[in-house]
């Protein structure tokens, strides 16, 4: 028994080292000079640890604005996403209505469709949104939600995987819980707010973590609908270190390290709830 635990621990440690090695190399290389990075002989450790790369990288471009854009978009997207996905999951799990299973089936189809397939249709809908960005009531004449926070946020609010996780979690509760709440005179909304939400913190933390990572790392959609510097997110801002002829690795690496730091910290604090939410959401289907 002890030998099997040692073998398992060793395998987990080796796998963790393989997974973590790119991040460790990125962090160590972020302290290197350009000459060290381009040296023919690769060395893991830099000759000297200096934060000059970080200071110089943050001086190129308006990084305070870029981080503020990504942070505000992520916070709003996650907040609205948790509200809409939890309500949808609750309805699919705890309410009986005509066409419920059909609607849930169609919502799961979103998991099978790559983002690139619907990129153009969603772009056209955002551009032709009526009465916004100079558009008339028919969605003609302006730019709609292009180059706007609403355009960056609206398409990312809900995701079928989040709805699925919430539904699976809500289905674990016995029907007697709803019946008892109804006898006490509680409405559906009050039952959801006062009973289910406090009992569902693990799945809320799980969906919040997944949604935060997805929104923070979003690259394709902001690239498509924005072209103004003041609307750049941190992922798009990395392009300022790349020209047609060269890549400033001594600036990209520290900038990437700073961009990855919020996500790593968020995962560190929510990992317990994340594991619990994933496990319990798959218990009953």
Is 38 within a domain?
A: no
User: 164 lies in which domain range?
Assistant: 51-281
Give the pLDDT of residue 149. 93
Mean pLDDT of 50-57: 90
Q: Which of 161, 147, 151 is nearest to 81 (CA)?
A: 161
pLDDT tens across 152-166, in order?
999 999 889 999 989
Confidence (pTM):
0.87
Q: How confident is the model at residue 277 (pLDDT cuts 50, 70, 90)?
A: low
Query: Which CATH number does the domain housing residue 159 bear?
Result: 1.10.3720.10
Is 211 within a domain?
A: yes
Residue 243 tokens read as 């020209």
Residue 149 tokens read as 């926070």
Longest Cα pair distance anywhere in the chain, in angstroms? 75
Is 19 within a domain?
A: no
Look at the block and give the residue holding tokens 């309410």. 95
Q: What does R_g of the chain's alpha carbons equal in angstroms? A: 23
Q: What percent of the chain has pLDDT over 70?
A: 95
Mean pLDDT of 38-45: 86
Q: How confident is the model at residue 76 (pLDDT cuts 50, 70, 90)?
A: very high
Residue 18 tokens read as 């393989």
Is 83 within a domain?
A: yes
Give the pLDDT of residue 232. 93
CA distance 35 to 157: 44
Phi, psi of 164 (to 5 degrees): -60, -45
Centroid of chain to Cα 240: 23
Is 128 within a domain?
A: yes
pLDDT tens across 110-156, in order?
888 888 888 999 999 999 998 888 888 888 888 899 999 999 999 99
Cα–Cα distances (Å) from 53 to 3, 110, 230, 256, 260, in that order, read: 46, 42, 23, 12, 16
Is 182 within a domain?
A: yes
Is 40 within a domain?
A: no
The total of structural domains in the chain comes to 1
Task: Say if residue 283's pLDDT is above 50.
Answer: no
pLDDT tens across 198-239, in order?
888 888 988 999 899 999 999 999 999 998 889 999 999 998
Is 196 within a domain?
A: yes
């Amino acid at each position: 028994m002890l030998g099997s635990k040692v073998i398992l621990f060793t395998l987990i440690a080796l796998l963790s080292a393989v997974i973590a090695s790119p991040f460790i190399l990125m962090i160590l290389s972020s302290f290197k000079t350009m000459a060290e990075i381009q040296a023919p002989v690769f060395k893991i450790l830099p000759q000297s640890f200096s934060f000059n790369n970080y200071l110089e990288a943050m001086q190129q471009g308006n990084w305070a604005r870029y981080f503020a854009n990504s942070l505000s978009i992520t916070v709003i997207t996650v907040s609205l996403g948790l509200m809409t996905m939890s309500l949808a999951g609750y309805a699919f799990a705890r309410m009986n209505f005509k066409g419920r299973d059909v609607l849930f089936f169609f919502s799961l189809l979103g998991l099978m469709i790559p983002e690139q397939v619907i990129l153009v249709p969603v772009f056209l809908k955002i551009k032709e949104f009526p009465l916004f960005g100079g558009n008339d009531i028919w969605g003609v004449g302006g730019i709609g939600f292009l180059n706007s926070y609403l355009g960056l946020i609206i398409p990312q609010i809900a995701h079928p995987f989040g709805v699925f996780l919430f539904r699976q979690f809500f289905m674990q509760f016995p029907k007697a819980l709803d019946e008892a709440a109804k006898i006490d005179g509680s409405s559906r909304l009050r039952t959801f707010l006062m009973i289910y939400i406090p009992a569902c913190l693990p799945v809320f933390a799980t969906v919040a973590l997944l949604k935060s990572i997805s929104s923070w790392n979003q690259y394709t959609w902001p690239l498509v609908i924005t072209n103004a510097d003041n609307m750049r997110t941190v992922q798009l801002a990395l392009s300022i270190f790349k020209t047609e002829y060269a890549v400033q690795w001594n600036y990209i690496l520290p900038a990437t390290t700073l961009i990855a730091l919020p996500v790593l910290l968020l995962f560190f604090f929510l990992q317990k709830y994340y594991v619990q939410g994933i496990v319990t959401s798959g218990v009953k289907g």
